Structure 1
Amino acid sequence: MANDTVTINNNATGEQFEFPLRRGTVGPAAADISSLYKEAGIFTYDPGFMSTASCNSAITYIDGEQGILRYRGYPIEQLATKASFLEVAYLLLYGELPKEPELDDFEGVITRHTMLNENLKDFFQGFHHDAHPMAILVGVVGSLSAFYHDSLSVHDERHREISAHRLIAKVPTIAAAAYKHSIGEPIMYPRNDLRYCANFLRMMFATPCDDYEPELIAEKALNLLFILHADHEQNASTSTVRLAGSSGANPFACVAAGIASLWGPAHGGANEAVLDMLLEIGDVKEVRRFMEKAKDKDDPFRLMGFGHRVYKNYDPRAKIIREVCHQVLEEVADVNNPLFELAMELEEIALNDDYFVERKLYPNVDFYSGIIYRALGIPRNMFTVMFAVARTVGWVSHWMEMMSDPGNRIGRPRQIYCGPDQRDYLPISQR
Structure 2
Amino acid sequence: MSDHAKLILEGRTLELPVVVGTEQERGVDISKLRADTGFITLDEGYVNTGSTTSAITYLDGETGILRYRGYPIEVLAKHCDFVEVSYLLIYGELPTETQLTNFRHSIRRHTMLHEDMRSFYNGFPRDAHPMAILSSVVNALSTFYQDALDPHDPDQVEVSIMRLMAKLPTIAAYSFKKSTGQPFIYPQNDLSYCENFLQMMFAVPSEPYEIDPDFVEALNLLLIVHGDHEQNCSTSTVRMVGSSNANLFASIAA
Query: Any conservation in 2 of the 1:177–1:187 contact (CA below 8 Å)?
Result: yes
CA distance in 2, matches of 1:35, 1:55: 14
Query: Any conservation in 2 of the 1:116–1:173 contact (CA below 8 Å)?
Result: yes
Q: Give runs of aligned pairs for residues 113-152 of structure 1, distance below 5 A.
A: 113-152=110-149
Q: Give the aligned partner of residue 4 of structure 2.
A: 5
CA distance in 1, matches of 2:27, 2:18: 6
3-state SS of 1:104 partner: helix
CA distance in 2, matches of 1:190, 1:57: 35
Q: Give the aligned partner of residue 176 of structure 1.
A: 173
TM superposition shift of 1:167: 0.3
Query: Any conservation in 2 of the 1:190–1:199 contact (CA below 8 Å)?
Result: yes
3-state SS of 1:222 partner: helix
Residues 40-92 of structure 1 show CA distances to partners (whole Å, capped at 9, x for unaligned) of 33221212112111012121112455432110110011111221000000000
Q: Give the aligned partner of residue 190 of structure 1.
A: 187
Q: Give the aligned partner of residue 235 of structure 1.
A: 232
Residues 325-351 of structure 1 show CA distances to partners (whole Å, capped at 9, x for unaligned) of xxxxxxxxxxxxxxxxxxxxxxxxxxx
Q: Give the aligned partner of residue 68 of structure 2.
A: 71
Q: Give runs of aligned pairs for residues 17-416 of structure 1, distance below 5 A.
A: 17-64=14-61, 66-257=63-254
3-state SS of 1:8 partner: strand
Residue identity in the other structure for 2:51: S
Residue identity in the other structure for 2:75: Q
Query: Any conservation in 2 of the 1:142–1:256 contact (CA below 8 Å)?
Result: yes
Greater fraction of residues in helix: 1
CA RMSD across the alignment: 1.2
Higher Rg of the two aligned structures: 1
CA distance in 2, matches of 1:96, 1:241: 23
Residues 140-193 of structure 1 show CA distances to partners (whole Å, capped at 9, x for unaligned) of 000000001111121211101000000011011000000111111111100011
Query: Any conservation in 2 of the 1:85–1:224 contact (CA below 8 Å)?
Result: yes
State the TM-score, normalizing by the size of structure 2. 0.96
Q: Give the aligned partner of residue 330 of structure 1.
A: none
State the TM-score, normalizing by the size of structure 1. 0.58
Query: Any conservation in 1 of the 2:139–2:249 contact (CA below 8 Å)?
Result: yes
* Alignment gaps of 5+ in structure 1: 258-431
3-state SS of 1:150 partner: coil
3-state SS of 2:147 partner: helix
Query: Any conservation in 1 of the 2:199–2:209 contact (CA below 8 Å)?
Result: yes
CA distance in 2, matches of 1:171, 1:64: 27
CA distance in 2, matches of 1:9, 1:88: 46
Greater fraction of residues in strand: 2
Query: Any conservation in 1 of the 2:22–2:55 contact (CA below 8 Å)?
Result: no
CA distance in 2, matches of 1:27, 1:135: 39
Query: Any conservation in 2 of the 1:27–1:63 contact (CA below 8 Å)?
Result: no
CA distance in 2, matches of 1:26, 1:144: 37
Query: Any conservation in 1 of the 2:121–2:175 contact (CA below 8 Å)?
Result: yes
3-state SS of 2:25 partner: coil
* Alignment gaps of 5+ in structure 2: none
3-state SS of 1:44 partner: coil
Residue identity in the other structure for 2:226: H
CA distance in 1, matches of 2:197, 2:207: 16
CA distance in 1, matches of 2:41, 2:151: 32
Residues 294-330 of structure 1 show CA distances to partners (whole Å, capped at 9, x for unaligned) of xxxxxxxxxxxxxxxxxxxxxxxxxxxxxxxxxxxxx
CA distance in 1, matches of 2:61, 2:172: 31
Q: Give the aligned partner of residue 14 of structure 1.
A: 11
TM superposition shift of 1:30: 1.5
Q: Which region of structure 1 is more displaced relative to structure 2, 53-62 or 166-175?
A: 53-62
3-state SS of 1:70 partner: strand
